Amino acid sequence: MFIGRKDYLDDLESLWRKRTSSIVACRGRRRIGKSTLFREFAKRAADVYMEFEGLAPNPKHPVTNEDQLAEFAATLARLTASPVLSLPNWKDAFFWLDRAIDDSKKTVVLLDEISWMGGCDPNFPAVLRNAWETWFHRHERLIVVVCGSVSAWIKRNILGNTGFAGRFSRDARRWSRGARTGSPPFRPFRTGTP
Ligand SMILES: Nc1ncnc2c1ncn2[C@@H]1O[C@H](COP(=O)(O)OP(=O)(O)OP(=O)(O)O)[C@@H](O)[C@H]1O
Ligand SMILES: [Mg+2]
C-alpha cells in the first residue's frame, strides 16, 4: 500500500499541464522511497511507464559499461516487446529509447541508479544531455526522471554539468513547495506519514 507523498505526486502531476517534456532529478540516501514514488506516480497518472535501472557494483565481477548497456537493452526489449538490440554505446541506447516513445501517450521514463548506469562511461552525462536536447525534449507528454542514491555523482555529473544547466524542471532534493535555498532534502518515507 502506498502511503502519503501527496505534495510530490501533485507537483509531478502539474508537469503534464506544461504540454512539453520535463526532466526531473531525485536523489537521496537508500531506502527512502525514491523509486516507489515514481512507480506510484506512473501508475496513477501515466499511460506508459519505462523503468531502467543501472546494475549494482559487484566486487567479485566488476560491472563494465558493456554490461550496463546490455542490461538497458534487455529492459528496453522487455518494455517494448521487441528483440534485444545490440547497443554499442549510450547514444544508440537513447536513440532507441526515443524511438519507443509514443507522443499520444503520457510517458514516464525512470533512469534509476543512474550513477551505476553511467558511471563506467565518462561520456555518459554529455550523451544524455545531447539525447535530451535532440530527442527527448521534443516530446509533448514525457517526463524523464534521473534518480539515484549517489547524490554527489548526480550533482557533479548531471545537475552540475553546465550543459544541463537550467534544463531541470525539478530537483527533488530541493523539492518542497515554494522553497528556494536551504530547503529540506527529499523527505524519507516513513510508515504513517500523512
Ligand atoms: N510512499 C510509500 N508507501 C509505502 N511504502 C513505501 C513508500 N515509499 C517507499 N516505500 C517502501 O519502502 C521501501 C524502500 O523504497 P524504495 O525502494 O522506493 O526506496 P529507494 O529510495 O528507491 O531506495 P534505493 O536507493 O535503495 O533504491 C520499499 O519497500 C517500498 O515499498
Ligand atoms: Mg530505488
Our answer on whether the CB atom of 30 is closer than 6 Å to any ligand 1 atom is: yes
* Phi-psi label, residue 178: left if phi above 0, alpha if psi -120 to 50, beta otherwise: left
- Return the DSSP state at 137: G
Ordered by start, the domain boundaries in the chain are 6-174
Ligand found nearest the CA of 29: 1
Distances (CA, A) of 96 to 2, 73, 89, 116: 32, 9, 11, 20
Which residues have a beta carbon within 5 Å of ligand 2, which is an ion? 35
At 164 the pLDDT is 79
Per-residue pLDDT for 130 more than 90? yes
Per-residue pLDDT for 175 more than 70? no
The more confidently predicted of residues 25 and 53 is 53
Atom of ligand 1 nearest to the CA of 32: 21
Our answer on whether the CB atom of 119 is closer than 6 Å to any ligand 1 atom is: no
What value does the mean pLDDT of the chain take? 88
Strands (E), 82-122: 107-112
At 190 the pLDDT is 62
Classified as helix, coil or strand, 55 is coil
Distance 35 CA to ligand 1 centre (A): 6
Report how far residue 184's alpha carbon sits from residue 33's, in angstroms, rounded to the nearest whole number. 15
At 116 the pLDDT is 97
For the domain 6-174, what is the CATH code? Answer: 3.40.50.300
